[in-house]
Amino acid sequence: MKETTQEQRIRARMQPGIISLNGFLGKDKRSISDIISDDDKQLQALSRTPIEVAERMLYFSNASFNAFDGRVTVDDIYVVETEVTRGRMNCPWAHDGFHRKYITSLTNTKNNTTVVWTALNIHLIKEHSFFEGKGSAFRLDPATLVKALF
Amino acid sequence: MFTIIIKDVTVLSAIGSLLAIIMVIAQRRLSNYGDCKIDINGKRELVIKGGNSLLSSLSDKQIFLPSACGGRGSCAACKCKVISGGGPILPTEKPLLTKAELAAGDIRLACQVKVKSDIKIEIPAGIFNIRRFNATVTEIIDYTYDTKGITFKFADGEKIDFLAGQYVQLETKPYGKVKQGVIRAYSISSKPEINSSLQLIIRYVPEGICTTWVHQHLKLGDTVSLTGPYGDFFLRDTDADIIYVAGGSGKAPIKSMLEHLAVIGCKRKMTYFFGARTTKDLYLTDEMHAFEKVFPSFEYVPVLSHSEQGDGWTGKTGFVMPYFKDAIRDPKNTEAYLCGSPGMINAVTKALIEEGIPKDKIYYDSFG
Amino acid sequence: MDISAFVLFWAAIFTSNILLTNFLGMCSYLSVSREVESSFGLGVAVVFVLTITAALNWLVYHYILVYFGIVYLQFIVFIIVIAAFVQLLELIIERYTPALYYTLGIFLPLITVNCAIFGVSLFLVIRNYNFLQSIAFGAGSGIGWLLAILMLAAIRRKLKEKMVPLGLQGVGISLIITGIMALAFVGFSGIVQIQ
User: For position B78, what pLDDT does the model report?
Assistant: 84
pLDDT digits (tens, 9 = 90+) for A86-136: 777 888 887 656 788 888 989 999 888 999 999 889 999 988 889 998 888
Mean pLDDT of chain C, nearest integer? 86
Contact C38/B23, CB-based, under 8 Å? Answer: no
Q: Which of B8, B30, B108, B119 best probes binding to C when mutated, by most C CB atoms within 10 angstroms? A: B30
Q: Which of C81, C98, C99 sits opposite B19 (nearest CB)?
A: C81
Chain B CB contacts of C78 under 8 Å are none
Q: What is the DSSP letter of B124?
A: -
Which residues in C42-74 are b (16+ Cβ under 10 Å) and which e? bbbbbbbbbbbbbbbbbebbeebbeebebeebb
CA A45 to chain B, closest CA, distance in angstroms equals 31
Mean predicted lDDT score pLDDT of chain B? 86
Say if residue C83's pLDDT is above 70.
yes
Shortest Cα distance, chain C CAs vs residue B31, angstroms: 7
Cβ(C16)–Cβ(C99) under 8 Å?
A: no
Strand arrangement of the beta sheet that strand A113-118 belongs to: A72-74, A78-90, A98-108, A113-118
**Contact present, C147 and C13 (Cβ < 8 Å):** yes
Please indicate if any CB of chain C lies within 8 Å of the CB of B11.
yes
Spatial strand order in the sheet of B167-171? B183-187, B167-171, B223-230, B131-142, B147-154, B197-203
From B12, B30, B87, residue closest to C76, measured CB to CB = B12
For residues B243 and B252, give the distance between their C-alpha atoms in angstroms, rounded to a whole number: 15
Is C57 within the bounds of a domain?
Answer: yes
pLDDT tens-digit readout, C168-180: 888 889 999 999 9
Looking at the predicted structure, is the pLDDT value of residue A48 above 60? yes
Output the CA torsion sign for B159, B163, B165, B170.
negative
Task: Inform me whether the C-beta atom of residue A86 falls under 8 Å from chain B C-beta atoms.
Answer: yes
3-state secondary structure of A123: helix
Q: Which residues of B touch A71 (CB under 8 A)?
A: 277, 305-306
Q: What percent of chain A has a predicted confidence (pLDDT) above 70?
A: 93
* Contact flag C77-B23 (C-beta cutoff 8 Å): no
pLDDT at B61: 80
Contact C84 B19 (CB under 8 A): yes
The CATH code of domain B35-127 reads: 3.10.20.30
The distance of A23 to chain B (nearest Cα, Å) reads 9
User: Are A85 and B176 inside 8 Å of each other by CB?
Assistant: no
The ipTM of this complex is 0.78
Q: Which CATH superfamily is domain B131-230 in?
A: Translation factors (2.40.30.10)
Q: Which of C68, C80, C103 lies at the smallest CB-CB distance from B19? A: C80
- How many whole angstroms from its chain centre is CA A60? 13
- From the CB coordinates, do chains C and A have 3 or more pairs under 8 Å? no
State whether A66 and B343 contact (CB < 8 Å). Answer: yes
Cβ-defined contact of A71 to B305 (cutoff 8 Å): yes
End-to-end CA distance of chain C: 10
Q: Is the pLDDT of residue A2 over 80?
A: no
Q: Residue B209 and residue A86: Cβ atoms within 8 Å?
A: no
CATH code for the part of the protein at B241-366: 3.40.50.80
> Among C140, C2, C145, C119, which residue's Cα sits nearest to residue C57?
C119
Are residues A88 and A101 in contact, defined by beta-carbon separation less than 8 angstroms? Answer: yes
Pairs of CB atoms within 8 A across A/B: 76
Per residue in B68-108, pLDDT tens? 666 767 777 788 899 988 888 877 787 788 888 888 888 99
Quick check: A61 contacting B, CB < 8 Å?
no
Q: Which residue has better confidence, C22 or C192?
A: C22
Q: Are strands B362-366 and B197-203 parallel, antiparallel or unpaired?
A: unpaired
Mutate to test the interface with A, among B213, B339, B367 (most CBs of A within 10 A): B367
Give the residue from C89, C93, C69 showing the smallest Cα distance to C81: C89
Domain ranges of chain B: 35-127, 131-230, 241-366
The chain A residue lying nearest B306, using CA atoms, is A71
Please report all neighbours of A, defined by 3+ CB atom pairs within 8 A. Answer: B
In a domain, C195, yes or no: no
Residue B19 with chain C: CB contacts under 8 Å: 80-81, 84
Q: Do B343 and A84 touch (CB under 8 A)?
A: yes
Amino acid at C178: T
Domain count, chain C: 1
Provide the pLDDT confidence category of residue A75 given band limits of 50, 70 and 90. confident
A137:B207 CB<8 A: yes
Res B200: pLDDT: 92
d(CA B284, CA B142): 10
For chain B, the first-to-last Cα distance in angstroms comes to 76
What predicted TM-score, i.e. pTM, was given to this entire model? 0.60
Percent of residues, chain C, with pLDDT higher than 70: 95
Q: Which residues of A touch B205 (CB under 8 A)?
A: 85, 101
pLDDT at C195 over 70: no
CB B90 within 8 A of CB C102: yes
**H-assigned helices in chain B:** 2-30, 54-60, 99-104, 125-129, 209-216, 251-264, 285-294, 324-327, 342-354
> Which residues from chain B sit within 8 angstroms of residue A101, using beta carbons?
205, 367
CA distances to A14, B122, B202, B210, C86 from B175, rounded to whole Å, are 17, 41, 18, 10, 51
C18 burial (CB, 10 Å; 0-12 / 13-18 / 19+) is: buried
Spell out the residues 6+ positions from residue B152 whose beta carbon is closer than 8 angstroms to its own: B133, B135, B136, B137, B138, B197, B198, B199, B200, B224, B226
Report the residue of chain B nearest C99, measured CA to CA: B88
DSSP-derived pairing of the beta strands B167-171 and B183-187: antiparallel
Average pLDDT over residues C2-31: 86
Would you state the pLDDT for residue C60? 92
In this structure, is residue C175 part of a structural domain? yes
Chains with 3 or more CB pairs under 8 A to chain B: A, C
Among the listed residues C189, C192, C191, C158, the one whose alpha carbon sits nearest the alpha carbon of residue C174: C158
How far is B252 from B255, CA to CA, in rounded Å?
5
Going residue by residue through chain B, which has 368 residues, state the pLDDT in tens, using 9 for 90 and above: 888 889 889 988 999 999 999 989 988 887 778 888 999 888 788 888 888 888 888 888 878 787 766 676 777 778 889 998 888 887 778 778 888 888 888 899 888 888 888 999 988 877 777 888 889 999 999 988 889 999 999 988 888 888 899 988 888 888 887 877 788 888 899 999 998 999 999 988 888 888 889 998 888 999 998 888 888 888 888 889 999 999 877 888 999 999 999 998 888 999 999 988 888 888 888 888 999 998 998 999 999 888 887 788 888 888 888 888 888 888 899 999 999 887 788 888 988 999 889 988 999 887 75
Q: Are B251 and B283 in contact (CB under 8 A)?
A: yes
Q: Which amino acid is at C105?
A: G
For residue A9, what pLDDT is reported?
Answer: 83
Sheet of B119-122, strand order: B44-49, B35-40, B119-122, B79-84, B107-109
Q: Residue C41 and residue B8: Cβ atoms within 8 Å?
A: no
Q: Tell me: pLDDT of C137 over 90.
A: yes
For residue A89, the cross-strand partners are A99
Output the pLDDT for position B353: 92
d(CA A34, CA B228): 45
pLDDT, position B70: 67
Largest CA-CA distance found in chain C, in angstroms, rounded: 58
Residues in a beta bridge with B152: B137, B198
Contacts of B8 in chain C (CB under 8 A): 68, 70, 73
Helix axes A142-149, A50-66, angle to 10 degrees: 50
What's the mean pLDDT in C17-43? 85
Establish if C186 touches chain B: CB-CB under 8 angstroms.
Answer: no
What's residue C154's pLDDT?
A: 93
Distance in angstroms (rounded) separating the CA atoms of residues B124 and B104: 17
Q: Which residues pair with B148 in a beta bridge?
A: B142, B202
Q: Which residue of A has its CA nearest to B169?
A: A87
Closest Cα in chain A to B320: A68
| Nearest-10 Cα torsion for C163, C167, C172, C176 | -60
pLDDT band at C143 (very low <50, low <70, confident <90, very high): very high
The CA distance from B120 to B45, in Å, is: 9
